[in-house]
Amino acid sequence: MVFGGIQKTSLIDFPGRVGCVLFTAGCNFKCPYCHNPELLSFSTAQVIKNNWVMSFLKERKGFLDGVVITGGEPTLHKDLMDFMAAIKDMGFELKLDTNGSRPGVLGQILEKGLADYVAMDLKTDPALYAEMVASPVEPEKIRTSIQTILDSGTPHEFRTTCAHPMIDADILAGLMDQLSGADLWVFQECQGTRMLEPDFLEKAEIVYTREDVEAFAAQASSCVKEVRVR
């Protein structure tokens, strides 16, 4: 594992748990609104060693309930499953955040029961991913990850950042068919100045307001058990 950051305590990232958040370095997408651009490349990420992370977690036993592994994209790391198993052995619950690009790894993690909660970013129609995240992405892999999560029985959420042109009412309608029956779909405003493309919002034809995001959530509410706006 190569970590690029740590948040030592979080009350909001792992539902119902006091957790810490580990940020893995490296991502195979280049979302223009990415808030962690320094994590995308192994060369620009600050490197936190595994040993340090394990010592930190040993010290925090009894204070933390859970560990969130986020990115970057955690499933790119070959030793992710071993790392997750070691953390589980220490008695922590685990939440995995993923962009859904590696359904094979995701499926193994869920099958082995290594994740107590999984969150997948759903950025746009799978067929539009390659264009929208400026990276080669096979749409079928995104669809398979969605279905793998839905079939797994693992508590889960899907998260969508409402940015144009990734999301509009028609794209959302297509996604609703694929997410039918999901536990939770979280809609987020696209905001802030710290982005991979700093002028992304300035150049956008449409910038969705909080009311627009709430309308997307209302549209999606018929297909999933719960929607939230963050």
Q: Which residues bind ligand SF4 (CB under 6 A)?
A: 27, 29-31, 34, 36, 40, 71-73, 99, 121
Nearest approach in angstroms of CB 52 to ligand SF4 is 22
**How big is the CA angle at 78 (ends 76 and 83), to the nearest 5 degrees?**
105
CA 69 to chain centre: 9
**Region of 59 on the Ramachandran plot (φ > 0 left; ψ -120 to 50 alpha; else beta):** alpha
Nearest approach in angstroms of CB 64 to ligand SF4 is 23
The nearer residue to ligand SF4, 158 or 223, going by C-beta atoms, is: 158
Q: Residue 120 is encoded by which pair of tokens?
A: 């997948």
Nearest approach in angstroms of CB 186 to ligand SF4 is 14
The nearer residue to ligand SF4, 195 or 227, going by C-beta atoms, is: 195
Nearest approach in angstroms of CB 73 to ligand SF4 is 6
The nearer residue to ligand SF4, 27 or 172, going by C-beta atoms, is: 27
Nearest approach in angstroms of CB 140 to ligand SF4 is 18
Lookup result for tokens 């962009």: 99
The nearer residue to ligand SF4, 29 or 83, going by C-beta atoms, is: 29
Beta-strand (E) ranges in the chain?
3-10, 19-24, 66-70, 93-98, 117-121, 156-162, 185-189, 227-229
The nearer residue to ligand SF4, 31 or 53, going by C-beta atoms, is: 31
Largest CA distance in the chain: 49
